[in-house]
Every structure is written in structure tokens, then in C-alpha cells.
Structure 1
Amino acid sequence: MTAPILLSARHLQKQFGAVVAAQDLCIDIAIGQRVSLIGSNGAGKTTFVNMITGYLKPDQGSIYLAETDITPMSPRQITRLGVARSFQIPQLYPTLSVMDNMLVAMACHGNRLSVWRPAAQAEHIERGAALLERFELIQHRHRRVSELPGGVRKLLDIALAMTGSPKLLLLDEPTSGVSAEEKFPMMETVMRGLGDEPLTALFVEHDMDIVRRHADRIIAFYSGRVIADDTPEKALATDDVRRYVTGELRQEVAHA
């Protein structure tokens, strides 16, 4: 049985001067899918994510979350409908503790940003602790964010995105800036933290080993176009992906 469609992008176009960042993109994402967006820098991955979250508006086309047209909505409106994201550079309060960052995030979702201290009730602290536990951060709950290593900050940024119980989670390069020996354990922690609930996740990633291990679908971008959309095994085997994304085909030609 095919899962219902959660996100539907229709004929998206986006240009920055002479640069085409999105060219007639038509993409459907089903509930519960784990999708990796791959492509070289400037291929259009982050532009696609930014259009979904409302940070950029397409020049043409539309985006639907279930049956709702979110194209004209602001980022805050889209977030309240159940779309959350983490950033390549974590968006945190460095002078606050890990738990206080969680409480600020929950206050934002509860429209209490100017008086976030009331969020520090037992139920909110308990929920924040549960999320920290899920992402293996509970031992850092009282530490200032400025004291944390880069990988831990990344995990905290993702945990903050989960405070609104999103339907769709977008992760922008979750392993970038993380050491080679830490990135695989970190991504394992992320995927365990997402749990078995029907949460749809899209993650931008450059490490193909991470993609093979954690995605059940790959969407590959090149010059604002989708050049492959399939399972990791099939997508990574296409000539266009091997030429424009992984570079394997060029290396083989050069070697020959």
C-alpha cells in the first residue's frame, strides 16, 4: 500500500539573475520517507529546502503540505503547520544552557517568546529532557552551548527542531563540520532520535556513505534540475549522478 503524499512541489522555478536554481521541479514526498537530497554546491538543494520552509518564494509553481497550499505563507506559518528544519550552522543561544535552549524553542511554539520563563514548568522540563534523551544529549543539559563541541551542537539544533512535533523535518547538511570519526555515530543518533513515528525527513548530504546507510530514497540535483530520483542503489548508479555528483564517471574516463 502506497503511503499518502505529505509534500508536493509543482513546477517550481527560481532564478537568481542568470543562475537557474530551480527548473520546473515536480517532486512528491510520501509520509514517513527518509529522503536524501544530493548534488554539488550550487545544484539547487538548499534552494529547494528554503522554498519549502518559506525562506524563499518560487518565481513560479506551488508547494502543498498535504492539501494546504503553503507557497504564499511565511516561515512561521509553515512551521506551525508542522514543517521544521535544522541549519548547516546551528541556530542556538550560546550563553544559555542546553535545557534553556530547549525551553526557548518550546516557548516559541507556544507563542510565549517574550516571556519564555513560564515555559519552565515541570511538564515542559520533562518533555525537554525526553527529547535530550532521545538525541543522547541529556548529560549536557546544564552545560552552556558555547562549551559544546560541534557535533553536539548539531544534535541540539535537530532536537530543537523536534520540539514542535513536526510532520516534516528538513536537515541541512547535518554532518558538515563534524569529524570523520564522529559523523557516522552522530547520524546513527539522529536517525534513532527520529524514531519509528511517521515523521518524514529530508536531509541534504554530501557523504555518499551516509546517504547509502540512512536514506530510502535519493533526489539528485544538478543546475536546478532533478537528474535522478530513486532508491540509493539505483540513483547512485546512474551516469548523470556518477558524472555530476560523485565524479566517478569522470575519474574512470580520465583513468582510461
Structure 2
Amino acid sequence: MTEILRVEHLKKSYDGFLAVNDVSFSVAKGELKALIGPNGAGKSTCFNMLMGQLKPTAGTVWLDGKKITGLRPREIWRRGVGRTFQITGTYPSMTVIENVQMALMSHHRKLYAIAPRAWRLYRDEAFEFLKTVEMEDQADRPCSVLAYGDLKRLELAIALCHRPRLLLMDEPTAGMASSARIALMQLVADIVRDQGVSVLFTEHDMDVVFAHSHHIMVLNRGELITEGSAEEVRNDARVQEVYLGGGTLFAEARNA
């Protein structure tokens, strides 16, 4: 498979504390890959280095064979990397479709057009992105009244507006009800399959991880301790010990 992202010997230290230590991995085109681990394992730190919010202490990040280490977040975004966050950041005073239109204006370098005519810009295109995340029926609702799960879907639509080749999703189902979590990740899996977008995501819900990931990586105390298929990770003794305290949840998942 074609490699879209390569991370080599990534490291981040704070006054001698290693938050991420010598982490190397790759993500293939059209791959849905999970990065899991207990709280404090270094997942968000790793994401912040990939997207340019943090400068690595050492290591290199390559996108499509081109080095992006040290670039600013907007430069990395322009090269085809999108991101969603644990906490949604939509404009509550705007409607659903207006939020997507704003993202499209940024993508098309038309932010200067924020004026009385801006409401007409890219409306049809925005509606198509809302259809992708199954929110076209809520296009004209204000974001302030949306359920949290719908805000997560809207954030996904906004991230897709730039047509990223790689999408980083930091705990995409955090705070959502069980049924909404499953529905959102099925939607993401469909987008990966239909559009060939690569997705790297962090997640604490093991049902979501095992059901949808093509490949799983496990971080513990900043180090990548194993990676493999859901079955390989589920049966890994190190994962059972450091991530799930002896493997109780894995045993439950295996017997479910």
C-alpha cells in the first residue's frame, strides 16, 4: 500500500521528562489506524507534533515523502493534513451550513469575503459536505441547539472541506452516547473506504477501536510498545498489563 505518513524516531521532552520517546510508524493511503494507550501515554503530544502545534525534540515527520517537521500548523494543513479535536470548536451563533461555508472560504482563500454577500459563497458545496456526514436536514439550524454528537459530525464535515489526504482525529467519540459513537465511526470508516482518505485517530472506547481499525498502535509512557491487528493487540500480554490492568476488558471483548 502507498505510504502517506511516515514518522521516524519522534521524541518530545520537557525538562528531562520524555512525553514521547523514539516513536516510529507509518500510515498507508486509505488506512484507518488507531493510536491507543492510557491517559498520559503521549497520544495528544504525538498528534500535536504531527500537526505542528508542538516542535519535536528530535525525529522527523514525512508526508507523501516530503519532510514537514518544523512547519507551522497552517502550512501542514495546506499540504493536506486535517484534524478534529477532543472538544468541538464550531461557531454557535452561526447555522450548521454557515460553519461549513466558513471552512470552504478558508480553503478557497476567500476569507476576505466575510461581508453581506458571504452567505451565498460555496453554499451548494457546503451542502454536499453536510450530506457526506448525514446532516443535510439540519443545514439551517443554529449550532447552539445541536446535540453533542451532531457537533462532532459537523466538525468532521468542516475538516473534510480542505479535502485532506490524512485526517487526524483526537478522541472523536469522547463525550458521546454509545449509539452515536458507533454511528460516527462507521461514517468515518465509510469515508475512508469511499474517498481513500487516511485516518489516524486516538480513542478510549475499545469497541470503537476493535470494530473499525485496520491497524492499532499502543503507546505507554511515551513509547510505542506494540502494533498490529485488533486480534494481535487484544492478545498482547504487554497491552493487557499496562493498558487494561491485566486484560479484563480484553477478555470481556473477546467473549462478547
Q: Same fold (TM over 0.5)?
A: yes
Alignment match, 1:131: 129
Matching of residues 37-48 of structure 1 within 5 Å: 37-48=35-46
Q: CA deviation at 1:120?
A: 4.5
Divergent runs of 4+, >6 A: none
| Deviation at residue 102 of structure 1 after TM alignment | 0.3
Task: Indicate whether 1:76 and 2:74 are aligned.
Answer: yes
Alignment match, 1:167: 165
User: What letter is aligned with 1:246?
Assistant: L
Alpha-carbon offset, residue 251 of structure 1? 8.6
The alignment partner of 2:195 has SS state of coil
- The match for 1:229 is 227
Contact 1:103–1:116 (CA under 8 A) maintained in structure 2: no
TM-score normalised by length of structure 1: 0.92
Provide the alpha-carbon RMSD of the alignment. Answer: 1.8
Give the corresponding residue for 2:138. 140
What percent of counterpart residues are identical?
Answer: 33
Q: Which amino acid aligns with 2:93?
A: T
**AA in 2 matched with 1:247:** G
- 1:158 — aligned with what? 156
Match of 2:178 among 177, 180, 187: 180
Worse overlay, 222-231 or 182-191: 182-191
Q: Decide whether the 8 Å contact of 1:70 with 1:78 is kept in 2.
A: yes
* Alignment equivalent of 1:66, drawn from 64, 67, 92: 64
What is the DSSP-based 3-state SS (H/G/I as helix, E as strand, rest coil) of the residue aligned with 2:194? Answer: coil
Partner of 2:29: 31
Separation of aligned partners in 2, 1:59 and 1:241: 27
- Give the CA deviation at 1:250: 7.4
- 3-state DSSP class of the match of 1:57? coil
CA distance in 1, matches of 2:222, 2:172: 22
In structure 2, stretches of 5+ residues that fail to align are: 251-256
Cα distance between partner residues in 2 of 1:206 and 1:251: 12
2:6 corresponding residue in structure 1: 8
- The separation in 2 between residues aligned to 1:224 and 1:34, in whole angstroms, is 22
Pick aligned residue for 1:197 from 195, 207, 218: 195
What is the number of equivalent residue pairs in this alignment? 249
CA 144–229 in structure 1, closer or farther in 2 if over 3 Å, else same: same
* Contact kept in structure 2, 1:155 and 1:190, CA below 8 Å: no
Query: What do residues 48-97 of structure 1 show as CA deviations (whole Å, max 9, x unaligned)?
Result: 11111101110011111012110011000000000000010011111000
Relative distance call for 1:236 and 1:19 in structure 2 (3 A) is farther
Letter in 2 for 1:197: Q
